[in-house]
Amino acid sequence: MNKMIILQFLLVTAVFAAGFMAGEIRAAARSKVFELRTYTTNDGKLGDLNKRFREHTISIFNRHGMKSVWYGVPQDAPLRDNTLIYMLEHESREAARKSWDAFRADPEWKKVSAASEANGKIVSKIESVFLDPVDYSPLH
C-alpha cells in the first residue's frame, strides 16, 4: 500500500513538474520580442542581399545575440524581385536596440557592407516592426 501511495505521489509530482515547465517555456516565449524586417532592394540587387545574408550577416547577428527565426522572399511579382522579409528574436526591445547598435559598429559588418556595395547600394528601404505573440500563437 505504501508503494502505491509513493508511486501516485511521484506521478502527481511528475505531472505537476511537466506542467510547470511547459508554463515556464511559454512564459519565456512571451517575454521575447520578435522583430519583422522587410528590406526593399535597388533593381537587380536582391541576389547581392541574399548572398550577404547567407555568407556574412547571419553569423554577425548571432555574435550580437540576434536569433534568426525565419527568412523568405515573396512569391509574387513585383515584390519577389526586390524584397527580403525576415524575423529575429530578441530578449527585449532594449536588448534589440543594444544588439543593433553593436551590429552596426562591428568591424566585420562594416567591411562586409562596404565590399558588398562596391558596385552600388543594395538596400533602398528598411521597415521594422516589433511583435508580441498572441495567446494562440505556437510561440505563446
Please report, for residues 37, 39, 42, 51, the alpha-carbon distance to residue 70 in angstroms, rounded to integers and kept in the order given. Answer: 10, 14, 22, 16
Q: Does this model's pTM top 0.85?
A: no
- Same domain, residue pair 65 and 95: yes
The alpha carbon of residue 80 and the mean position of all alpha carbons in its chain are separated, in whole angstroms, by 21
- Same domain, residue pair 97 and 114: yes
- For residue 10, what are the domain limits? 1-31
Q: What's the first-to-final CA gap in the chain, in angstroms?
A: 42
- Same domain, residue pair 11 and 64: no
Domains contained in the chain, number: 2
| 30-86 residue pLDDT tens | 579 999 999 999 999 999 999 999 999 999 999 999 999 999 999 999 999 999 999
| 84-108 residue pLDDT tens | 999 999 999 999 999 999 999 999 9
Please report, for residues 8, 15, 90, 99, 119, the alpha-carbon distance to residue 3 in angstroms, rounded to integers and kept in the order given. Answer: 9, 18, 47, 54, 76
